[in-house]
Structure 1
Amino acid sequence: MRLKLILKLLDGNCLPCNYMYELSSALYKVLNEGNTDFTTWLHDKGYCKEKKSFKLFTFSNLYIPRFKIEGDRLGILTDTVQLIVSFYPIEAIEAFVMGVFRNRRMEIGDRKSRVAFEVMTVERLPEPEFTPKMTFKAISPVFVEEQFPDTSRTVHLTPGDPRFAELLHLNLLEKYRAFHQQEPDPQWPVTRLKVLSAPKAKTIALRAGTPQETKMKGYLFNFELQGEPELLRLGYYGGFGRLNSQGFGCTEIIRI
């Protein structure tokens, strides 16, 4: 299920440039006001398989038609902005999620600047056709990291690294196992990645300004995937790569 939200500015017009963590918190707050049990489950547990948990929920960067950047602040020069919010399909929650966003007030920002929005419209986007070869545009950074458990070291991979595509595929398989509670079909092909545009690095700070601050580097780029359509569907709705519920891995389908 994928929604397009049109947000109207009510108060303030300046956000931190690094607003994704704050936007994630605002979205959880909206969902929590609609159903505390659902949001607690989504935030704390999600879909689990062998101690791995996935939220299968992602969202785009804010689409702001006109803006101005001054230092670490982003000035909004329009009355409305657009946001895509996406959940891996669960028909049972569709009515709940649609309803909870309608006419909702959202506040996004940090201690220095905040913006209050009202959700003007909520549009459920139609289901696209999923085929073995598809082209995507990242509308929030795609984040893939390689972990080394023996040393607790992690490496944030670039899309040009051969391990990026491999780990992207393994992540989709883990999400499939967590959601469906079954093994993927062993005959499904390995998901293959072709980078179509120069990747633009974007670092997002989680819990910025606190002792728990962590910086994650993802990439905005266009890419082609070849693989099992159900896995491409999962990535489209639930997010590609890691940390999807924190604002990474949201894409849109493009036709070339």
Structure 2
Amino acid sequence: MRIEVLLKPREKAVFLPFNYQYQITSAIYETIAKSSPDFAKKLHDEGFGERRFKFFTFSQILAKRKKITSEGFWVIGEFSLKISSPLYEFLLHLLNGLFKDHKFKIGREEFTVKGAYIRENPEIKPGQIFVCLSPIVVSTIKEGYATPYYIRYTEEPEFFSEKIRQNLLRKFETYYGRLPADDRLIFFFDEEYLKKNKGTKLIHYRDQKILGYLAPFTVEGSSELIAFGYDTGFGEKNSMGFGCVEVK
């Protein structure tokens, strides 16, 4: 399930940096803490399972009007943000926090919460086509690299697909305490789209440089896994603002 938050700047327009993901992650925890400081702290510090999954993801800023500059962009008027999670407690505290004072702060900028709407999950089936609301990221450990190597789909599509599957299986098992009855999954980006468009995006997240993909894709295989990916995010680093998708 997901919540669509409608935000209004205090002025007619507000300037934001290109790399705002960390500020939004922080804002989400701060908002949850308004409802339950204990839940916010536990989610942030511990998460779930050995890998400390947070089980939430969020979209990029979805603005009808914006103006790009060399250092960032102006958001003109109201905009929205989609936040997705399978955790009922997360969504409950997020909603409570949003309506506590109707404020949501991204970095130094404070916005008024004009509305927060629960969006039920659409029917999702094998062969579903999705669009990315935030970049999809998968990585591996590679000899000669001191940091994780972000897999290039155009170079290793099968490996990229398998890493998506393995990541979803780990998250699914941690959340449900079991594996899905069907663990098959194969992932395809729209290669025609990638040929015509850049398709990649480099995000600076604090001291990390993270390479992700923003392109339509199709997923075949387990309906359970695909639906879980819709809720919690496809790929890695979901709570940092990666892997949020929407049905095309």
> Do they fold alike, i.e. is TM over 0.5?
yes
Q: Is the 8 A contact 1:8 1:117 kept in 2?
A: yes
Q: Secondary structure at the match of 1:166?
A: helix
Q: 1:94 to 1:243 in 2, by over 3 A?
A: closer
Q: Secondary structure at the match of 2:135?
A: coil
Residue 150 of structure 1 and its aligned partner are, at CA, apart by: 9.8
Counterpart residue type for residue 67 of structure 2: K
Give the match for residue 210 of structure 1: none
Structure 1 stretch 149-158 or stretch 31-40: which is displaced more?
149-158
Give the match for residue 173 of structure 2: 177
Q: Secondary structure at the match of 1:121?
A: strand
Residue 152 of structure 1 and its aligned partner are, at CA, apart by: 5.0
Using the alignment, how far apart are the partners of 1:93 and 1:108 within structure 2?
19
Give the match for residue 237 of structure 1: 231
Q: Count how many residue pairs are aligned between Structure 1 and Structure 2.
A: 239
1:31-87 Cα shifts (integer Å, max 9, x gaps): 112111111121122220xx22211100000011121122212112x2201110111
The answer on 1:42 being equivalent to 2:36 is no
Using the alignment, how far apart are the partners of 1:134 and 1:106 within structure 2?
33
TM alignment of 1:45-124, pairs within 5 A: 45-48=46-49, 51-76=50-75, 78-88=76-86, 90-102=87-99, 104-109=102-107, 114-124=108-118
Counterpart residue type for residue 108 of structure 1: I
Q: Secondary structure at the match of 1:13?
A: strand
Residue 133 of structure 1 and its aligned partner are, at CA, apart by: 2.0
Structure 1 stretch 98-107 or stretch 135-144: which is displaced more?
98-107
Residue 127 of structure 1 and its aligned partner are, at CA, apart by: 2.2
Structure 1 stretch 129-138 or stretch 172-181: which is displaced more?
129-138
Q: 1:150 to 1:170 in 2, by over 3 A?
A: farther
Q: Is the 8 A contact 1:130 1:230 kept in 2?
A: no
Using the alignment, how far apart are the partners of 1:86 and 1:97 within structure 2?
11
Using the alignment, how far apart are the partners of 1:158 and 1:151 within structure 2?
15
Gaps of 5+ in 1: 208-212
The answer on 1:20 being equivalent to 2:7 is no
Q: Is the 8 A contact 1:53 1:178 kept in 2?
A: no
Q: 1:132 aligns with which of 116, 126, 144?
A: 126
Using the alignment, how far apart are the partners of 2:183 and 2:105 within structure 1?
43
Counterpart residue type for residue 6 of structure 1: L
Counterpart residue type for residue 69 of structure 1: I
Residue 190 of structure 1 and its aligned partner are, at CA, apart by: 2.4
Counterpart residue type for residue 240 of structure 1: F
Q: Secondary structure at the match of 2:123?
A: coil
Q: Secondary structure at the match of 2:136?
A: coil
Residue 94 of structure 1 and its aligned partner are, at CA, apart by: 4.3
Give the TM-score of the pair, scaled to structure 1.
Answer: 0.87
Residue 143 of structure 1 and its aligned partner are, at CA, apart by: 0.7
Q: Is the 8 A contact 1:30 1:104 kept in 2?
A: no
Q: Secondary structure at the match of 2:68?
A: strand
Give the match for residue 3 of structure 2: 3
Counterpart residue type for residue 16 of structure 1: P
Give the TM-score of the pair, scaled to structure 2.
Answer: 0.89
Counterpart residue type for residue 83 of structure 1: L
Q: Is the 8 A contact 2:180 2:225 kept in 1?
A: no
Counterpart residue type for residue 81 of structure 1: F
Give the helix-richer structure, 1 or 2: 2
Using the alignment, how far apart are the partners of 2:245 and 2:143 within structure 1?
30
Give the RMSD, CA atoms, in angstroms. 1.9
Using the alignment, how far apart are the partners of 1:57 and 1:36 within structure 2?
17
Give the match for residue 31 of structure 2: 30
Q: Secondary structure at the match of 1:53?
A: coil
Give the strand-richer structure, 1 or 2: 1
Q: Secondary structure at the match of 1:182?
A: coil
